[in-house]
Copies of this chain bind each other. A is one copy, B any other.
């Protein structure tokens, strides 16, 4: 029984190493089949100038920023990173089935780390125009929005009547914490979803990106016992060693991530393989799939050795 659930879960998450699997004789292909048959062009490398490495003692967490959805927040986070604003700050909050949050751990009435070059104040970026947005629609419908799907590496919703689109609070999506005023976020305090998608926050927050790799360094942290999962005592917080843009890290220290592109026939097949699971474990394929229940396949490619032709 130790391996119970094995078949069901073997390919539950694209972010894991994908075991080779014999071709299925089922009428449609399994998730493993789709990825086994993918071509190099089905994958892309997230742009290093918009990719963050958040380093803690538990390891590296990699976040892709989304300038198409929150351009001013993304630019400001990049400015904060380049002035090393986050270095020495901390994970200050972990609320079970909700969010992990990081920023300045200093108490309200104590001096805070100054922001030097970045902006203190930004407009809210809760939605963006639908026009001009690449959009791969999901046909399965959604409880919250007229349309959902993906744009680039991000889960999105759209309202054609309002001509708006917005990123969706799926597991691992990253947003900018704020106070009651809609324009009170500036990217210096960030959160990521660690539970069932809190979709009631959609269109109420400026979402800035998503975690692509190494999320367990944050999601498995002890939950805070204070109000809303804030830690009661400074010694409970997890220090942030550094946050850097991948573009600013020497190439041999980067993690060579590739993400399955969402604008390809392979992606369409991938979604179908999640909608109707063809592994032998499944008795009753669901016939439908929820946006936030489609994992994003991510892989680390072996680094080419420098000078290997010398």
Could you list which residues of chain A lie within 8 angstroms of chain B, going by C-beta atoms? Answer: 1-10, 12-13, 16, 19, 92, 94-99, 101, 103-108, 112, 124, 126, 140-144, 170-172, 176-180, 182, 184-186, 188-189, 191, 195-205, 215-216, 219-223, 227-230, 274, 277, 280-290, 292-293
Contacts and interface: CB of A to CB of B under 8 A. Distances in A.
Contact of A288 (B144, B176, B196): B144
A220 B220 CA distance: 5
Contacts of A290: 143-144, 196-197, 199
B189 A97 contact: no
A301 to B, nearest CB: 20
Given A10-B228, A196-B293, A274-B200, A2 B106 contact: yes
Contacts of A7: 179-180
Given A98-B13, A141-B143, A220-B220, A228 B6 contact: yes
Contacts of A142: 143
Interface of A, helix, strand, loop or mixed by DSSP: loop
Contacts of A3: 108, 179
Contacts of A1: 103-104, 112, 177, 179, 186, 188-189
Contacts of A198: 12, 293
A25 to B, nearest CB: 15
20 contacts: A3-B108, A4-B176, A4-B178, A5-B99, A5-B191, A9-B99, A12-B95, A13-B95, A13-B98, A96-B219, A96-B220, A97-B215, A124-B283, A141-B141, A143-B289, A182-B283, A196-B196, A200-B282, A202-B286, A203-B283
Nearest to A144: B288
Nearest to A291: B143
- Taken together, the copies of this chain in the complex come to 2
| Those 6 A-B pairs whose CB atoms lie nearest each other, nearest first | A4-B177, A216-B223, A1-B189, A203-B284, A5-B177, A200-B286
Contacts of A196: 170-171, 195-197, 290, 292-293
B103 A4 contact: yes
A9 B94 CA distance: 12
A22 to B, nearest CB: 15
Nearest to A138: B143
Contacts of A292: 196
A204 B8 contact: yes
A217 to B, nearest CB: 9
A198 B13 CA distance: 11
A229 B222 CA distance: 18
A12 B186 CA distance: 23
Given A2-B106, A4-B176, A19-B227, 16 more contacts: A1-B112, A1-B179, A1-B189, A2-B104, A4-B178, A4-B179, A97-B219, A144-B288, A170-B196, A171-B196, A196-B197, A200-B282, A200-B285, A203-B283, A216-B222, A220-B221
